[in-house]
Amino acid sequence: MSPYALSMLMSSLAMGTIITLSSSHWFLAWMGLEINTLAIIPLMTKMHHPRATESATKYFLTQATASALLLFSATMNAWMTGEWTIMNMNSYTPTTILTIALAIKLGIAPFHLWLPDVLQGLDMMTCLILSTWQKLAPMALLILTSHQLNTTLLTLMALASAIIGGWGALNQTQMRKIMAYSSIAHLGWMTLVISFAPNLALLNLMIYLMMTSSMFMMLMALNATNMNKLSVSWLKTPTLAASMMAGLLSLGGLPPLSGFLPKWLILQEMTKHHLGALSAVMALSALLSLFFYLRLSYMISMTSPPNISNANLAWRKKNNMSLINPILIVLSSMLMPITPMLLM
């Protein structure tokens, strides 16, 4: 792709998110989401592969449906209240339609089926953008309207996301699909707490973005698209393989790594609202996710692929990583131990 076209598309991606984040009018928020969608589709199809075209088509149809539902809910709310303000949405039907629209955009269960297939057909950099930057605008709208949304519906979607996100990744061998189900599970935790403590959902989102960004950057550096390639990663770069193991355990929420912090605070918030049974189910669903993260960590650190005696080992190449990657690796695994004041 031409550098000029790429810079224009990346600028459009940034502009669409900024428009949505800074708008208080539903039409402007919808316009920002549309700019986001239209800017990322050429990035999806830059590989000129049938799988990439299929992923872009699925993504476009899904996002177009969600955008139509969002505009319909905003129009219905304006017809009922006479206002297009984002913060003023009190009617039951528009808020329910809005919740479904944002759930489709984010990939929250039971509207998650498009996400693993779309990510599987893309290159790692586009997967990184889709899993991180594209979550910001819909999640911002969800946080802005969190005090008006149906708590029961959000709780049911959160439970479904946490369980499906853990269960769906158990039989996967492709890293992009595993990261897609990881995204679904983390979105379940954010959706659960968003009605009670939006600030906690925002903290969870920020830590999720750091962990996912560092994980995709390490996968790109190792050129690992499936579990077989991941199992020989220690032959290429042992240090990066050890960092990836810490990142995977942090994604699983194992203490004392950074990923444990949001889960701990969310469970604490749920018990404050006398939702002990719900907290127990969410904690048990986190064990499903932790299982496949532990399996990946075991493959990276403690297994060696079957080789004959005269087989060639993988070359240890020098990785041309930017400075942001080691910073993200440290933050995604060590943020909680080095910042204990966050818990106060």
Bridge partners, residue 334, by sequence: none
Res 344: pLDDT: 46
**What confidence score (pLDDT) does residue 224 get?**
84
CB 212 within 8 A of CB 259: no
Mean pLDDT of 49-61: 94
Residue type, position 71, single letter: L
What are the Cα distances from residue 60, in Å, to 38, 42, 55?
Answer: 8, 11, 9
> Could you count the other beta carbons within 10 Å of the beta carbon of residue 90?
11
Residue 308: is its pLDDT beyond 50?
Answer: no
Contact 189, 211 (CB under 8 A): no
Please name the residue that has the structure tokens 């992923």. 55
For residue 171, give every residue at least 6 positions away whose Cβ sits within 8 Å of its Cβ, in sequence order, or none. none
Q: How confident is the model at residue 228 (pLDDT cuts 50, 70, 90)?
A: confident
Q: How far are the Cα atoms of 58, 103, 155, 171, 275 from residue 160, in angstroms, in the given order?
A: 22, 12, 9, 18, 17
- Which of 30-44, 281-295, 303-317 has the weakest average pLDDT? 303-317
CA distance 236 to 222: 8
List the beta bridge partners of residue 25.
85
Query: Cα–Cα distance between 316 and 238 in angstroms, integer?
Result: 9
Whole-prediction pTM: 0.90
- For residue 196, give the 3-state DSSP assignment: coil
- Mean pLDDT across the chain: 87
Query: What is the average per-residue pLDDT within 138-144?
Result: 94
